[in-house]
Amino acid sequence: MTARIGVVTFPGSLDDRDTQRAIRLAGAEPVALWHKDKDLKQVDAVVLPGGFSYGDYLRAGAISRFSPVMETVIEQAKAGLPVLGICNGFQILTEAHLLPGGMLGNDHLHFICRDQKLRVENAETSWTSDYTAGQEIHIPLKNMDGRYVADAYTLDKLEAEGRVAFRYLVRGEAADGYGNPNGSLRDIAGITNEAGNVVGLMPHPEHAVEPLIGTGRTDGLPFFTSILKKLVNA
């Protein structure tokens, strides 16, 4: 049976179709989910895609967190459903308290759009098992409110428990994709929950799944092949 991965569309979602395409390229079946529906259509995993849900008018992800679909996503994520939040989806996951910390405006106060170098820190989550720890990858990044923040206790806890999933590579020149692009504390680009089934990151792996688009590489595809293998072997 083909694994079914749901992609939620909120008002202002921009990358839901791109994410569906990435899922299809990985060999799974993408299932469109609407933010007003509580029914997840019996999917095996869920992706909250990037964009500007509700225009970020209150705070990035703060309104979407209360969409009817999130009630079910939160309940099932706590029960083990794999959930990936990309950019705005990461913001929603922090607002929903499925991941700790929060997202603030970029420290330079400008929208940023560029290819970004990352280091994989945790290759044992449901969404990262096709990577290796320490692997350096190149993923597109685009955000206005991408600065990850948390108190010192939370940051230390994430570090101690190996829950920093991705970190911005700060060596080298920004023109080559290096550097912390938004002021995120400890160069954190993505994190995971304790169980490893919920992952959030700011860069956009769905834009790096074919050699003719994005970075011209396929460094983002392992996100989607990782979850496929996880579901097939479950």
User: What are the residue numbers of the active site?
Assistant: 87, 204, 206
The answer to whether 29 touches 65, Cβ cutoff 8 Å, is: no
Bridge-based pairing state of the strands 164-168 and 112-120 = antiparallel
Six-digit token string for 115: 């290819």
Using CA atoms, how far apart are residues 44 and 81, in angstroms rounded to an integer?
7
- Report which secondary-structure segment, H or E, holds 18: helix 16-26
> Backbone dihedral region of 94: left (phi > 0), alpha (psi from -120 to 50 degrees) or beta?
alpha
**In this structure, which amino acid lies at residue 220?**
G
> Backbone dihedral region of 87: left (phi > 0), alpha (psi from -120 to 50 degrees) or beta?
left
> Backbone dihedral region of 119: left (phi > 0), alpha (psi from -120 to 50 degrees) or beta?
beta
- Rounding to the nearest 10 degrees, give the CA dihedral for residues 55, 60, 65, 70: 80
Using CA atoms, how far apart are residues 90 and 106, in angstroms rounded to an integer?
15
CA atoms within 13 A on the CB side of 180: 16
Beta bridge partners of 190: 166, 201
